[in-house]
Structure formats: C-alpha cells, structure tokens
Chains A and B, each alone.
Chain A
Amino acid sequence: MPYQYLDDLTAADVAFRAEGDSLEEVFSAAWEATLGVMIELPEDEEPSESGPLTAGAGPGTLRTRVQRRIALSAPQADLLLHALLEEQVYLKDAEGLLLRLESCRVEERGDCWQASAVAAGERIDPVRHHLGTDVKAVTWHRFELLQQHGRWRATVILDV
C-alpha cells in the first residue's frame, strides 16, 4: 500500500504518510489516502448484513461517470501537493463528487511547479457508497513532502 494512516500525529483528525518513487506516485497515493477517509476501501469493508439499502461499494467499484481535468501550479512541490488535495476536497463539496486520479503529471517549469491530472468518479451516493468521514480541510500541521534515498514521502493531516 503506497500510504498508511498514522495514529500518533493527531487524536481528533486523520493523518497519513504517502510514498512513491516519483512525485506522480506520491501525489496519487496522497489523493487515494484522502479518498479513503471519505469512502470505505474494499480491504476495510465490513461484510454487508443486508440488501440493497445498506450495501455499498468502496473506491474499487467507484463508478466512472464523470471526469474532471485539474491543472494547478505552485512555487514549490509541497505547495503543489497541498493544492491538489485541496482541489479534491473542493470537488467533493462544490460538485458532490468522489473521484480517483486516473492520471497525474508533475513537472517543474522554471521557478514554478505544475500538476495536470485527470480525476474520474461519480456523485456521492449515501445509499450505495459506504461513506466514511467528511474531510473539511487539508491542514498545514506537520505537512511535508520530502525525498529521501530516491523515494518521495508526504505527511498530511486532514481536518475531519
């Protein structure tokens, strides 16, 4: 798993560490970790006790009904990651969408970092989806993006 949730950084909210060999990988892992707070992932799903009204689906079966193209820029790579996750939270509220990243490209152009991504998913369905906890914001608390021994690692705390 390219990310893991951490209990020792916050009691009231949700913290995770995401990793990847490239910025694209770690950005995608962080997006997936944020998604996993809001909707149950298949490996965490509890067996459903009954029929259609309580059955749900994790992101493994998050249907692809809509697509959003995302283009962001920031002066630093960590700020860019923060902006990407904020965009995910914005789309959840403004459009009622839960989305997975289908593709993500991150590149440095001059003194600016740019991310272009395609996210796809569907509108939140409280009947069909096993929903988790709403994410209010991506905090700056202990937020970091570092590269060590060729591997990128991000630490993020989400306000829920």
Chain B
Amino acid sequence: MVPKALRKITDTLWELPRSHKPGMLVSARFYGSRALLQGMDEAVFEQAANVATLPGIVGHSLCMPDGHSGYGFPIGGVAAFDATDGVISPGGIGFDINCGMRLVATSLAWEEVQPRLTELVDRLFAAVPAGVGGKGFVKLRPSELRTLSEQGMRWCLKRGYALPEDLERTEERGCVAGADASRVSERAVERGINQIGTLGSGNHYLEIQVAREENILDKPLAEALGIRIPNQVLIMYHCGSRGFGHQIAADYLALFLKVMQSKYGIPVRDRELACAPLASPEGQDYFKAMNCAINMSFVNRQVILHRIREVFSDVFARDPLELGLHQIYDVTHNTAKIERHRVEGVRRELLVHRKGATRAFAPGMEGLPAVYRDTGQPVIIGGSMETGSYLLTGVDGGAQSFFTTAHGSGRIMGRRQAKKQFNGRELAESMRQRGIYLRTASFSGLAEEAGGAYKDIDEVAAATEAAGLSHRVARLLPVGNIKG
C-alpha cells in the first residue's frame, strides 16, 4: 500500500518528503512505474524513510524498482553517507555481503549446446555444490582463508583459478582495498572455510542461457560486451560470501547494537538499522571485515568459473578459451563502498550502501576497465528461473542514484505461500517441457523459487531504463539451471 504522502516527481520517480516521519534528514525516493510501486509492501516505504534518519546521509534515501521489504534497509535500498561524519550500517549491505552476479560468454550457439545440455547441467551440478551443507573442493587452512579475503581474486590468479582478464572484468578488479582479516572473527572463518566454490541456496543459482536474436535490444552494445553470434550461449550465476560473510554481518550487527546508542547517541529505530560512525573504531573494524567478505565472495565466484571452464572443456573436449569462455562482468549487489560523486555540484567522498542494488557506472567513469570505457559498465539483473534475466549498461542518467540500478525482480509472494501453491517436482517437469533442464538440491526450495513468486523482470528492467538508471542490452533466456 502506497503512503498517502507519496508524491509523484515523474512517471518513474516518487518521493516521500522529509515531513513524512520525524527525524528524516532527507527525503526518500522510489524508482519505478506506478504499478511497480503499488505492488511494493508498506514496509518498503517505512524502511526507506527510516534510512533517511541516519546521521550523515547525503542526497536522498533511495529505493530501486525491484524494491521489497528487508531488514532495516529495504531490498533495493541505496543510501550514501559522508565518508567523514556519516555512518556505516550492516543492514544497508545485508547478511550476504557481496551477493552478486557473474556473466560469462561462450562462443557456442544453442544448436551446438542443446544435444549436450543434460550432460552439462548434470556435470555442473556435481562440480558446483549447492544447497544446505554444500562443501567446496578447495581445501584451506584458516590462515589461507584470511589471506584470500585480503587478496581477493589476486589469490585466484596465483593459484591458477583465474586469468588476468577475469580480474579486469570484475567490479573492483575482484579485490576491494582496505580488507583486514584481523577484524574477522574465528567463527566467520570456521563457517566459511569449506564453502569456497559453492552456490548456497534460496535464490542462488547457476544458469545456462541463450541470447536469442529477437531478444537483443541493442545490437552494437551487445557485440561490444561480447554477444556476437546468433543464439549465443552464456552462463550466469548468483551467489555470495556464504557463511563467512553472513557471520561477519551478524558479528558487527551485534556489536553496533551495543554501542550505537550508548556510545554514539544514535537512536535505535530498528535493530536491523544498527549503525556506527564510519570513522569510529567499531565502524572501521566492520568496514575492514566487510571488505574481507566482499573479496571472499569474488574468490567464490571465480572458483566457480574455474569449475565451469573445466566442465565445458571436458564435455566439448576443447580448451575453455577455444570455447570462448570469457567473463563479461561480475557485479556485486550487497556492499558499501567509498566512491566520489557530485552532490549539488560539489564532488564528495561518500560511503555508498547498496543493498539489493547494482552499481551502474556510465561510459567514461573512472573504475571501469578499458574494454568498457566507451560502453559503460555491464549490469546483470537476474530474473526468476522461469523468466530469464537482463544484461544492461550504466548510463549518464545514473548520476541521480549514485550510479545505481536494480538487481533482480523482487519477490511478491512469501516462501511458504509459494510452497503451498507450487509443487517442486511438478515445476521441474513443467520447466523441462518448456525447454529448461534443471537440477536442484531441494524440490521444496525449488517451489519457493517459482516464477510466480517474483515481479515481472521485463517491467523492472524497463523501469530502470525509463528512469534513466540503466540501458537494456539483451534479454537472456534460461535453458539449464542448477539450484540449491
């Protein structure tokens, strides 16, 4: 239900003014069509308004078109804080730090892959563990997990799990600066040590997808990003920092709850909105530990890419690079990063929280790899397992949202409701008949992920373009899927 105080700025931008709730320092702005906003639950608006009360917030508290209620911040929430006197909030990042998406091209057409699809999916299901208790093949000592969390994908390069181009085509080159593993608890290490190279569960997945000609929306850009042949096959996957990151988030949420009010005088409106000044010892420790989780997640997705290359190479009996298995890009959608943005004409250093929201840098922006300087940053927005996903690029209009866009389609149905409405085995069979072969670690989990539980991805992607946040390049349809 949309609050009465919500006013329209444009067809795709809406605002709750500061007067909506006591303590709001800035307004809360919501991107999306009227229909998308009417589909958002009431808590989205209240959570975005609560975010607007946090000290040091700059600009507006923002919510992307796929927004739905979360903890503290809404999912799809974006908020930037002054890097000197603003706060950092684990609720603005999420428990799954650096949950993100990776898209990999191949030089294979669907006609070549179709006869081997079942084998590919079965082999990937064996090679990339998914679901509760999934264990990866990488054996680590605790000190090695700490090391890789500081080195990110550079660690993968040394171990032979990455190519230099993989780092080039990953946000932050697969390693954010400022990671300090001494700020990470033993519990976080113990939870994550067996999980490198695993997908996790819930809405995490690995898909084989096809870019059909009729779904290429911007042919020159698609070619520039690596989609160059008719019915090209790509691989997309979605996963995060696993137990390592989840524990880091939990550790610092608990710490911030203890000090937020007593030490820093910040009122606790919502325990999940716990925060501390970024410049405080607690804020700095969390920032350093969070960066470790970001890096570990990049490593996780890189090790998975290594396994994907192995499987494709085995199945087609060719070198993976001969098969064109080049990464297009890797984006994170749960982070807080120090970035420079122009606010009211002045360039400022900000801590930008993106929770269920994707960075979308425009052409020419610093931080883009040379190969994407002219195109803008590739953006990957994942849809449901039945409907497909989008490849987009960042655009100049993104300046209004700290160059941020949506991350997915957002849920409209609860998990238990979905389990009652859909049967996992019947769903898998129905998808198979529609040409999507899948393997899952949990049929009940599969029912929870039915397409009917999610918003319309076409509507979300279109809304981001209409709002000037990102530009649609191609729609990618699933043909193979592994789920936890």
Contact = CB atoms under 8 A, between A and B. Distances in A.
A5 B416 contact: yes
B419 to A, nearest CB: 8
B247 to A, nearest CB: 7
B133 interface: yes
Contacts of A39: 132
A131 B425 contact: no
Contacts of B191: 90, 93-94
A134 B271 contact: no
Interface stretch (A9-17, A23-31, A61-69, A111-119): A9-17
B201 A130 contact: no
Given A39-B132, A46-B423, A90-B191, A10 B414 contact: yes
A11 B246 CA distance: 20
Interface stretch (B3-11, B29-37, B309-317, B436-444): B436-444
Interface string B441-469: 11111001000000000000000000000
Nearest to B47: A141
A160 B201 contact: yes
A140 B257 contact: yes
A126 interface: yes
A94 B75 CA distance: 28
A139 B193 CA distance: 22
Interface residues of B, number: 54
A160 B253 CA distance: 17
B246 A140 contact: no
A122 B242 CA distance: 21
Contacts of A156: none
Given A96-B133, A131-B133, A133-B201, A140 B272 contact: yes
Interface residues of A, number: 41
B282 interface: no
A11 B75 CA distance: 11
Given A136-B96, A136-B246, A11 B411 contact: yes
A18 interface: no
Contacts of A49: 425
Contacts of B192: 93
Contacts of A96: 133, 135, 194
Contact of A13 (B193, B201, B415): B415
A14 B190 CA distance: 25
B202 A134 contact: yes
B187 interface: yes
A12 B70 contact: yes
Interface string A18-60: 0000000000000000000011100010100100000000000
B250 A86 contact: yes
Most B CB atoms within 10 A — which of A5, A49, A131? A131
A131 B203 CA distance: 15
Interface of B: 41, 68-72, 75, 95-96, 131-135, 187, 190-195, 200-203, 242-243, 246-247, 249-250, 253, 257, 270-272, 274, 411-417, 423-425, 441-445, 448, 484
13 contacts: A7-B415, A12-B69, A93-B195, A94-B187, A94-B190, A96-B135, A96-B194, A131-B133, A133-B444, A133-B448, A133-B484, A136-B202, A136-B243
Nearest 7 CB-CB pairs, A to B?
A124-B133, A134-B201, A7-B414, A93-B243, A140-B271, A93-B191, A94-B190
